[in-house]
Amino acid sequence: MKKITKFMVLPFIALLLLMAGCSQENGYDNVNVEEAKELIDSGEVVVLDVRTEPEFEQGHIPGAQLYPLQQIDQWSGQLDPDQTYVVVCRSGNRSTQASEYLSEKGFKNIYNMTGGMNEWTYETDK
């Protein structure tokens, strides 16, 4: 009977390990500009722009909310950890930092837009 139990448990453990390997490596997902645009167009995400105020004023994704990376300790506690967010910056560096920080704080639905506003070819607001 013990051999049957071990035989049945080993495939289950292998499946769990396989599933763990397929999960988000960093706790967030990287998306390119086109994928971010699709998420934004769905209307089910909040866009967090983590650039500085002067950068934001030069042009930002319509509906984006300004949350400068330098102040992440102050504003991250005000966000809903169950909400889905697309995090944006100029090139993708600061948004990566913000995405890592938020995922470490327990946020599960974070999308980091790689390439940032440098690669954004769609409409912007000023």
Tell me whether residue 100 is exposed, middle or buried, using C-beta atoms within 10 angstroms of its C-beta: 0 to 12, 13 to 18, 19 or more. middle
Distance (Å, rounded) from C-alpha 57 to C-alpha 12?
Answer: 53
CATH number for the domain spanning 73: value is 3.40.250.10
What's the pLDDT tens digit per position in 89-104?
999 999 999 999 999 9
Q: Which domain holds residue 52?
A: 27-119
Point out the catalytic residue in the list 40, 48, 89, 110.
Answer: 89
Number of domains in the chain: 1
Could you confirm whether 22 is annotated as catalytic?
Answer: no
Q: Which of 23-27, 59-63, 73-77 has the lowest mean pLDDT?
A: 23-27
pLDDT at 48 over 70: yes
